[in-house]
Amino acid sequence: QVQLVESGGGVVQPGRSLRLSCAASGFIFSDYGMHWVRQAPGKGLEWVAFISYDESNKYYADSVKGRFTISRDNSKNTLYVQMNSLRGEDTAIYYCAKDSLRIAAGGDIDYWGQGTLVTVSS
Amino acid sequence: DIQMTQSPSSLSASVGDRVTITCRASQDIYIYLAWFQQKPGKAPRSLIYAASSLQSGVPSKFSGSGSGTDFTLTISSLQPEDFATYYCQQYNTYPFTFGPGTKVDI
């Protein structure tokens, strides 16, 4: 069965950096694009970024463009997001999610991880 | 960016009710529309893709319809486990965008 396990969350000061990881199992990781989606406390879902199966395509929300970098290591079945210049409004639960389309430039999400909480506060 | 709206923002219903939630896109997204369910403290669950196709394991009481800019999610007979917040999302154009959610409670 598909499993996505996020890690790396915690409390970080404004302006600092943090890297989140998502360990994937139960499917051929190198065949599927992956997404990061976040949810601020008490708020709705916000799509953050997508990376294609082969890293050839990367897309970002305007709110994180230039500050966040999505990447993956297909040899380790792991997805990452490097978050720099963090702001209070980046406080959220960060979910990694699997794209449903194999060998594609992005589509709908079919599986979600349980999320990891990032709190940006001094 | 494509803006997504949902109506109503919340609704109260009873077990056994038929519930319909509407989602509207600010421009044509064809059928590239997904629906998700989220319960408090839990990760979202994928329900529907391509506007009307059920994800694997999703019961047939959930159905979706629409194309272009107007879409609906219908729950045919509400059960206690269906009380949750429902989100639509367009995946026609990056950046992908979610609707603000519809909370369904008792």
Q: Which residue is listed with tokens 């949750």? A: B84
Nearest CA in chain B to A65: B95
Tell me which residue in A44, A110, A114 faces B46 most closely, judged by beta carbons.
Answer: A110
pLDDT above 80 (res A120): yes
A45 neighbors A32 (Cβ within 8 angstroms): no
- Mean pLDDT value across residues A31-41: 97
B97 neighbors B4 (Cβ within 8 angstroms): yes
Q: What pLDDT does residue B106 have?
A: 83
Q: What pLDDT does residue B71 have?
A: 98
For chain A, the average pLDDT equals: 96
A104-108, A109-113, B17-21, range with the lowest pLDDT: A104-108
Q: What pLDDT does residue A106 have?
A: 81
Q: Which residues of B45-77 are buried (b: 16+ CB within 10 A; e: fewer)?
A: bbbbbbbbebbeebeeebbbebeebebbbebee
Q: Taking a contact as any Cβ pair under 8 Å apart, which residues of chain B between 21 and 50 contact chain A?
A: 32, 34, 36, 38, 43-46, 49-50
SS (H, E, C) chain B: CCCEEEECCEEECCCCCCEEEEEEECCCCCCCEEEEEECCCCCCEEEEECCCEECCCCCCCEEEEEECCEEEEEECCCCHHHCCEEEEEECCCCCCEECCCEEEEC
